[in-house]
Structures are given as C-alpha cells and as structure tokens.
Structure 1
Amino acid sequence: MTVQVVLVHGIRTSATMWRAQVEHLHGLRIPVTAVDLPGHGTRMDEPFTLDGAFATIDAAVTDAATRGPVLLSGHSMGGLVCTAYVGRADPPPVAAFIAASCTAIPRGAGLAAYRFLARRVDALPDHGMWLAEQLTERTLPPQTRADFGAGGYAFAAQDVALASLSVLDLVAALRNITIPMWFINGQFDQLRVNERMFTRLVPHAELIVVPRTTHLVTAMRPRVFNALLDLAVATLDARARGHDPT
C-alpha cells in the first residue's frame, strides 16, 4: 500500500502554505492531502474550535488510512494540535509523524504575551498585513513567498485559536507517542523554548534543527523539509517491507 501524507497548517495561514511540499510529493506520485482547519483558508467563515480542528484532522487521516500508512505532519499551531491527536490514549491510524516548529507548551505567561502581541498587531488598520508582507519578503525565497498568504490570513480566528491551545495536555500526549517521529525546528524559531523537554518525552524521536532558519521552516527551507518527508516516507516503506530502519 502507498504511503499517504496529510499536512496540517499553522495559525492564520491555510493549506496553501504547503504548496512546495504538495508539488514535491506529487512529483514522486505520493498521495497528499493538505487540510484547511475551521476559520482558515476555504473555511474562513466558520468559527475555529478545537473539536472542529481535531475532527478535520481525523477525517483526513481516517480517509487516507484506507489507502495506506499515514504520514502526518503539522506546523506550529497545527503541529501542536496534531501532537495532541497522535498522542491520544486510543491512538489514531497514524503510522509516522513530523512535528514542525511546535516544541512549546502553550500556557502561562508565554501564551499570554503571544496573545497580547497578536491582538495589538490585529488592531492595526491593516491587521498587520504590511508587517507580514515585509517578513515574508525578507525571509522567504521567491518560489514560496506567496504561499503562506495565498489562502488569506485568518485574523478573526487567531486569538480564539491561541486561547484554545492552553487546554492541550501535550506532556501526556508526547509520552503516548510510539510511532516514528521527527521534530524539525528552525535555529531561530521562538517555539524551540521546550525543545529539550519534548525530545526527552519522546526519546525515540529525531530532532532536526535547520541553521539560519526561522519559524517558517517549511517555506524558508523547502528542500530541507521535503528531504525529511522523503526520509519519513522511506521509513514507512521499509517497515511495510518488513525492514525497520529505526
């Protein structure tokens, strides 16, 4: 059976952030589904809820699992929600997991400060669009520069989504994860704050830290991220043939 890839975007963005990865996987004839969470992308008019996010991921994973082993990858907020999903006491049908830019516990003063800053930016007349465009212009290569905003920015969903993350029991979830797993962070990613704890809780997981890279690792270093997708797919292919490379 062919490995199936499911991709889950981060906060404010949408499935379009994965364009470089979708194009890469299509070139290898690997089936891939990039979802839009509630309140984002094609679902901008829907309210964001954590239950809705879990339901969206589960629907994509459950459908993909009928055709082959599922490689799930989530970025930032999507990675945190995917971590909680993969680490359920009753594990979902996920065969391997890539957690991108999401090694932080979203609680306490750190989350409060992040929400305060996000609300201040959202209160600007353009909701921070000029800042977002400057950031992507200065940090992302031309081929991925438009991808994060191509599906629109979910300004209205941002604070609700951030607040909802505080109920996730990521420590318990991480302890439950036994499938092949990779953490990937940019060197200058602000969400590396609990990186050591995350890797300690999942001792079999591999950690990749990409030099000279920020939080937007999938778009800033698409070839590096695509190589990790290739590694994860190859790992699942080897397991299906009865060879466990881990």
Structure 2
Amino acid sequence: MTEIHALSGAYAVDAVDDLERAAFERHLAECAECRAEVASLRETAAMLAETTAAAPPSALRDRVLADITTIRQLPPEVPTAQPVRRHRVRLLVAAAAAVVLVGAGTAVVVTQPWADETRPPSATVQVLEAPDAQSTTLEFPGGASATVTHSDELDRAVLQTEDMPPPPEGKVYQVWLDQPGKGMVPAGVMPVEEDQTLLLEGDAATATGAGITVEPEGGSPAPTSEPIALFDFGRSA
C-alpha cells in the first residue's frame, strides 16, 4: 500500500496541503475504496459536529485524570506496507473520541504521544516541496505518465506515476539511478498499481538521471532489459 492511500483521513478533514490535495484527488478518481473511506470519515465528522453540548457529571474530570496515570503508553509501531491506512484510521478514531469529550462539555484534555499532529512531513513530501526540487516528466503511449523529482540538498528522489499499465505477468517495473562510474544502480521496485508515489533509494545528488526497466519479479541487481523510460537530471556524468 502506498502513501497516497494513507492521505484519505487527512483529506477528509481538510488537513492536506495543495500538493497533497491535487495528488490525492487524481488518485480518488480511480480508487473506489478511498472514495468510500473519505465519505465515511466525512459522515462521522459531520455527526460529531452536530453533537449537542451537555454538562458532564461532576466526577468525570477526576475520574479521567486518575485513569490517565494507569494507562501504559504504547511503543512506536514499526511501519509496514499493509497496515498504513489502518493505522491512520485508528488515529482518526482517537481524534474523534477526543471531539466527543469536548462536545459533551468536559474541560479535560488528554494528550496522546502517538497522535502528535506536529510531527515533521514524510521524506517523500519533503522532497516534493524542497526549494531546490527539480522534476522531469515523461508521457507514455496510452496516456500514462511518470515524473521524477529530485532534491540535491536532501539527496533524495521521488517517482510519481499516473495510469501506469501493469507489467507483464511475472515481471515488475524496477527503478534505477544513473551514477557516474557505476551506471544504473537499483533504486527500488514499483508496486503494481496504476498511480504510484515511490521514494527512491540511493544518492540522488550524485546521479545524472534515472530509468525504469521491466525485470523479473523481485527485481535485479543490474538491468536485464532496455529501459522503457530515461530521466535526465540535467548534469554531465
């Protein structure tokens, strides 16, 4: 599961920037699952907004504060590919519970360390929004496109695709960075989805370009086929 899917919760409550909103709305047009999730989250938010305020029991504040001291803080979760969206939904549920407490009139504020909205943006977003970011876009027959954005300051690059057809059965799209004196160096394998946002591996600041090839499932240490796309970073080897 890619990062674009994980934006559904933030998009539903208008907590994305213009770049993320544009990318997610393009994805939303093609993903029925995300459309359903956004609709459900917006419905929940609307219900919470209509909650009628009521005075809480006088003992509620003392009980909540006492309970907080008995709660064991959870360690950070190790990110995996599949649970990304579930983790975000859990955070939204926790946020919704906090809204219910406020709507009920209580003055208790519970701070959860794992729901910190002040955390820095992801490495992918940092590259896409970097002041020195440079992008190269290629269009394929049939309307598909691929864009590589690289930042020398951050030494990272990001690949974004739209309407990418699936590779042949038993094959994958593999991405490479063209390094001086080394040639094409593996930079990641694309998951099989039409729209992708992939943070590439390797040193983008030294690379002169990037490429995409069709490789056996699992990827290859070196290209075994001619590239279907080559991106020039605009500097000599």
Q: TM-score range by the shorter chain?
A: under 0.3
More helix by share: 1
Higher relative contact order (CA 8 A, sep 6+): 1
User: Which has more strand, going by share of residues?
Assistant: 2
TM-score normalised by length of structure 1: 0.23
